[in-house]
Structure formats: structure tokens, C-alpha cells
Amino acid sequence: MPISQTTITGSFKTAGGADAALTAATFTLTASDFEAGECITAGTVTAAVVTATGDFTVSLWPNSVGMIGTSRYRLALTFSDGSRVTWPTELYVKASTTMQTLEDIAFETRAMDAVRPAALVIVTQAQYDAINPKSPNTVYLVRG
């Protein structure tokens, strides 16, 4: 049975604003989980990278669809000069039918952790206005 996928894009620049020569972006799932009767095993997924521009694209299994729900991703980056950087925080990927940016994923992970144990729901103003009744155990973040 096919499992869910969320596509994530990103672009890396130097502090001076130049394109960073990214040669690898590797996402490692921190724990195994289940979705629709399939076991999702912890392991790595390597993104497709455009070295000249520092851009990448990757399709990942979204942590939010897991039965256990405790897994996250670690991100390791390798650049053309051989340097390696580990992303400072683990990332939680939510299921999405639209392409997400790494910045959005990182922001949503931080926001979700900040409001815990409440649930975080990101909505537009129109979506928020239409929610009736609103849950007392949910933080609604209005974007856009």
C-alpha cells in the first residue's frame, strides 16, 4: 500500500548572500512508525540537490500520519568545500498535498513545541473564522 509523502524544498545561501554550494542534504528519520498497515522504518533519505545554487527538493514521509507519532527528522548538510553542518533542531513534517519550504517546516516545528501540550493548527483568517466551536486545547496560528 502506498505511504504518504510531503515534498519539501529549500535553498541555502552564505551569510554574504551568495549561493551556497550544497552537495548533499540528508534527512534521517529518528524512529520507526506505522501508516496504513505499513511499517515506516527509521533511515535516511537524500535530497536532490542543485550544487550551483544550493537548492534542494526531497519527498519525505510525514511524521503527522504516524500511529505512534514520536518520530522526527535530523538534517545533515554537506557543502562543496567538504564542510558538514547538522541542522540545530529536529524537524517534524506534517502531511501536505502542497510543496512546503524548509523554513515553513522549521517554523511549524518550533511553534508546535512552544505550545505543547496544546495542539497547533495553522489556518488562514477565513478558516479560523469558520471554526465553530473552537477547541480550548488548540492554539490556532493565523497566517497570511
Strands 6-11 and 55-60: antiparallel
Q: How many CB atoms lie within 10 A of CB 60?
A: 19
pLDDT at position 69: 87
- Residue 133 has a pLDDT of 96
Percent of the chain with pLDDT over 90: 92
Query: Mean pLDDT, to the nearest integer, of 87-114?
Result: 96
1 pLDDT above the threshold of 70: no
Q: Would you list the domain boundaries of the chain?
A: 6-142
pLDDT digits (tens, 9 = 90+) for 14-63: 899 999 999 999 999 999 999 999 999 999 999 999 989 999 999 999 99
The x, y and z cell numbers of residue 52, run together, are 550551483
**Which pLDDT score is estimated for 120?**
93
pLDDT at 2: 76
Query: What are the C-alpha distances in Å from 73 to residues 24, 30, 123, 130?
Result: 15, 6, 24, 33
Rounded mean pLDDT, 92-118: 95
For the record, the C-alpha cell of 55 comes out as: 537548492
Three-class DSSP category at 63: helix
**What pLDDT, on a 0 to 100 scale, did the predictor assign at position 86?**
97
**For range 119-127, the mean pLDDT:** 94
Q: Is the pLDDT of residue 144 over 90?
A: no
Decide: pTM greater than 0.95: no
Output the average pLDDT for the chain. 95
Quick count: other Cβ atoms within 10 Å of Cβ 109? Answer: 20
